[in-house]
Amino acid sequence: MPITADIAVPVNDRQLSISASSSFQFTDKLRLEVGARYSELKSVQTASVTATSPGSPGFPAFGIPFIPAFSSTTDAIPPELSKTKNHPLTGGATLTYEFTPDVTAYAAYGRSFRSGTAGVGVPVNLSNDLIKSSSERSDAFEIGLKTAVLDRRITLNLSAFYQKFDGYISRFPGISYDNGALNLFGQPVGPPDGNVDGAFDFNYNGDATVKGIEATIAGRPIDAWDFSVSAAYVRARFDDAVLPCNDFNGDGEPDSEGDAGITGPGNVSYCASNGRLGDVPDFSLTANTEVRFTAGDLEPFVRALFSYRPSVFSERSNFDYQSRELLDLYVGMRGLGAGWEVSLFAKNVLNQRRITNISQGESRTATDGGDYLSGYRIINATNPREFGITTSYRF
């Protein structure tokens, strides 16, 4: 029996704000800059899900009943969740001290805000926390040092930072849900009935902390050579957050072992987490360099980009991601003062084949005899080695 579903998601947004900033030059070396913004944020977000069908003549001889044509519309976002109003105060301050013209230290504070929002196309008849996320607030602190040496041909920047999130908004893909008992027309209207009805990508809040250090060295030792190397160690973790998960074996940990099921009385399973905010390692490194030559009005060049990230274990997907060493090379020519450039490129020169994202469990289909496991997990992967040419012209 064919069924057509249409979702209309109109949004009405209004943002009003007033801001102010000022700076104070206490001495020739000490400077303070401050700024603040007060906002009034209002939004109305609704979602209408309309299901229509011409029905089915059925096959009475085989016990399959006649089903009449029908059309029904359901509000996916309850009226009490459709309106959002916030009055955030955001802003920050930066204190700078210049030891010498080539050495500057700073300390900074910033406060940010993200309004919660309802998901688009969220299955109907779920609990409010799965339909709409709460607002996110954060306080960030940073200290750093900026230096320049060798007649400012080499720069070295160091920083350390700490950010505390109250209700960090994150996305949780492929979460199995139970949207309740069905009525005669197949509409979920009752409480959770213990059956998994599908999987969805939910937005959800959890307290979190991000802290780390970063260093960058860059320069132009000679006029024909530029380089830059950046390295960072960033530890981004949830703080005793209770988050949507797949917990098929009921042990309170994310997994997809056995038949799909929901742990607990809710529409989804929930797991306590102090894990990573994303499936990324704590350490990362990027580098780039370019060497140029002079040939009259032409400037041939060779450029390289390199990024490295070590292996990392994903608690959400229960998977060990391999390390990645991506190298891109460019060889080209530009016209001095003419605004044009032509370059040949080779991306992923090492031809690394790495999984960048993977589903938590095997792709499965519900059958009368239970879940049928395909034996396959859904992935995203790096592109293979690629060659090409690019041109540009600046008027």
Walk along the chain (395 residues) in steps of 10 and give the mean pLDDT of each run. Answer: 87 96 97 98 91 88 86 86 94 97 97 92 90 96 96 95 97 89 79 87 96 97 95 97 92 83 92 92 97 90 97 88 96 89 96 90 69 81 95 91
pLDDT, residue 390, reads 95
Give the separation between CA 5 and CA 374, rounded to whole angstroms: 27
| 205 domain-assigned | no
Q: Tell me if 347 is assigned to some domain.
A: yes
Give the CB-side neighbour count of residue 127, counting CA atoms within 13 A.
15
Residue 234 placed within a domain: no
Nearest 5 degrees, angle CA 73-CA 78-CA 83? 125
Other CB atoms closer than 10 Å to residue 116's CB: what's the count? 17
pLDDT, residue 363, reads 76
Q: Residue length, the chain?
A: 395
Note whether residue 198 is domain-resident: no
Number of domains, the chain: 1
Residue 360, domain member (yes or no): yes
Q: So what's the pLDDT on residue 21?
A: 98
Asked if the structure places residue 132 within a domain, the reply is: no
- Amino acid 370: pLDDT: 65
Does residue 348 sit within a domain? Answer: yes
Enumerate residues 6+ apart whose C-beta is below 8 A from 303.
Answer: 288, 289, 290, 291, 329, 330, 331, 332, 343
Distances (CA, A) of 105 to 9, 34, 142, 155: 48, 17, 11, 14
Q: Is residue 48 part of a domain?
A: no
* Structural domain containing residue 338: 289-395
What are the angstrom distances between the C-alpha of 41 and each of 114, 116, 195, 210? 10, 11, 39, 27
